[in-house]
Copies of this chain bind each other. A is one copy, B any other.
Amino acid sequence: MTDNEGMTMARTPVRGPARQLGLRERKKIKTRMAIREATYDLIKEQGYDATTVEQIAERAEVSPSTVFRYFPTKEDIVLTDEYDPLVEDLMRGRPEDEPVLESVRWAIREAMAMAFTDNPERQQEEMVLRARLAVEVPQVRSRLMESMSVTGHMLCRAIAERTGRAEQDLEVRVYSMALMGAMLETLVYWGEHGCRDDLGELIDRTLDTFQDLPRRLP
């Protein structure tokens, strides 16, 4: 049951005979979004812990069972939204001889830009909420770390492909997860400082730091 979410608006089915979403799939997307938005709103109103799945279901006008059918855990409602495939694709599009870190830098920047193209308001707001929850709610932070590890594996694949090394090489994995740890901490840092800084700039600084770690801290 790999759910392939489109994450785009359900309105205006694409013209053309080839790809027409049926009513069923459009409804699924709508339900998914309804659950998400209900969750975001409730959390903003009363906080994460005080928000029960039952309440979420009620506001989204579905049954609790359905909520769990769409999201495996409560935390996932907040923070599942797959950047990974996007970033992976973007990285694959970079020239072979580019330093890995530069590809990463470019891919992240591009992914963020794309995410913000439609409905930048809402996207920004959700990012802030996620960062805040990552700071405040241990469960969410844990879950976020877990998803970072998935991203890390993606990065392993990309690096392996690029450098010709094995995907399971210890060095490759260490490199990837170190980078993920760095990125996650950047997000937490951003959240702890009230999300006032420019996240893109922080990420740039992090990548700079990462680029020559040994020189940074003797």
Contacts and interface: CB of A to CB of B under 8 A. Distances in A.
A17 to B, nearest CB: 43
B171 A177 contact: no
Contacts of A182: 174, 177-178, 181
Q: Which of A99, A171, A212 has the most CB of B within 10 A?
A: A171
Contacts of A211: 214
A132 interface: no
Question: Interface size bucket, A side?
Answer: 35 or more
Interface in A126-178: 138, 141-143, 145-146, 149, 152, 159, 163, 170-178
A210 to B, nearest CB: 7
Contacts of A214: 101, 211-214
B99 A178 contact: no
B206 A174 contact: yes
A171 B218 contact: no
14 contacts: A99-B218, A142-B145, A152-B181, A170-B186, A171-B217, A174-B182, A174-B185, A175-B209, A175-B217, A177-B181, A177-B182, A177-B185, A178-B213, A212-B214
Copies of the chain in the assembly: 2
A184 interface: yes
B217 A159 contact: yes
Q: Which of A143, A186, A202, A209 has the most CB of B within 10 A?
A: A209
A44 interface: no
Contacts of A171: 205, 209, 216-217
A172 B206 contact: no
A78 interface: no
A174 B186 contact: yes
A126 B106 CA distance: 43
A175 B185 CA distance: 9
A19 to B, nearest CB: 35
Contacts of A176: 185
Nearest to A212: B214
